[in-house]
Amino acid sequence: MQPPSTALCGYGRSKIDVVGLLYLPVRYTSTTVDRFPFHITRHGENIMGLDLFLSLGFTLQDNNGARILQVGSHWQQSRPELFNGLGCLTSFTHKPLLDHSVPPVVQPLRRVPLALRDGVTQELQRLQADGIIEPIDASPWVSNLVIARKE
């Protein structure tokens, strides 16, 4: 087994704990892949990726027999406006389930550095204008804003 050559991520960009890389032959009926890399993980089950799927001669086809390399939905073609930008769920109030035996935490305020203050204010105003965030008057739980600059 060799050290892992790439980092793997799962759904939601969660890191997959790869222990190592193992090259093995794979055979399905009369098709053989002499040296295919298997990523050995600490937890979970092995997944056959599209690269092995295609190497063994499998194909995905739509109803008309056309080859598919990217899986999607017919809704994406018939209603593209539903798949662009951010969605908005209306007539719904999020009410998280809380363990009432845990007392609410109010973190002390950390001031935004003066050099970043204008940019943070502009971004918060943009998020509010786009309907992503909304102001509230009070909450029993308060967490600090974490600022990370994208370069």
Domain enclosing residue 33, as ranges: 8-83
pLDDT in tens, 63-88: 888 777 665 666 677 777 766 777 76
Rama region for 118: left / alpha / beta (φ>0; ψ in -120 to 50; rest):
alpha
Note whether residue 13 is domain-resident: yes
Note whether residue 149 is domain-resident: no
Question: Which residue's entry shows tokens 């909450």?
Answer: 139
Lowest-confidence pick of 5-9, 68-72, 86-90, 130-134: 68-72
Helix (H), strand (E) at residue 122: helix 114-129
Q: What span, in angstroms and rounded, lies between the C-alpha atoms of 138 and 148? A: 25
Note whether residue 133 is domain-resident: no
Mean pLDDT of 58-63: 77
Pairwise pLDDT comparison (127 vs 66), residue with the higher score: 127
Q: What span, in angstroms and rounded, lies between the C-alpha atoms of 75 and 73? A: 5
Whether residue 36 contacts residue 54, with contact meaning beta carbons closer than 8 Å, is answered with no
Per-residue pLDDT band for 33 (boundaries 50, 70, 90) equals confident
The mean pLDDT of the chain is: 81
Note whether residue 150 is domain-resident: no
Picking from 82, 85, 17, 26, the residue whose alpha carbon sits closest to that of residue 53 is 26
Q: Cα-flanking dihedrals φ and ψ of residue 75, to 5°?
A: -65, -30
- Residue 123 has a pLDDT of 92
Whether this model's pTM surpasses 0.75: no
Q: What span, in angstroms and rounded, lies between the C-alpha atoms of 97 and 43? A: 28
Note whether residue 151 is domain-resident: no
Note whether residue 110 is domain-resident: no
In terms of average pLDDT, the best of 35-44, 45-54, 85-94, 128-137 is: 128-137
Whether residue 112 contacts residue 105, with contact meaning beta carbons closer than 8 Å, is answered with no
Whether residue 25 contacts residue 36, with contact meaning beta carbons closer than 8 Å, is answered with yes
Per-residue pLDDT band for 16 (boundaries 50, 70, 90) equals confident
- Residue 120 has a pLDDT of 93
Number of domains the chain contains? 1
Note whether residue 114 is domain-resident: no
Note whether residue 41 is domain-resident: yes
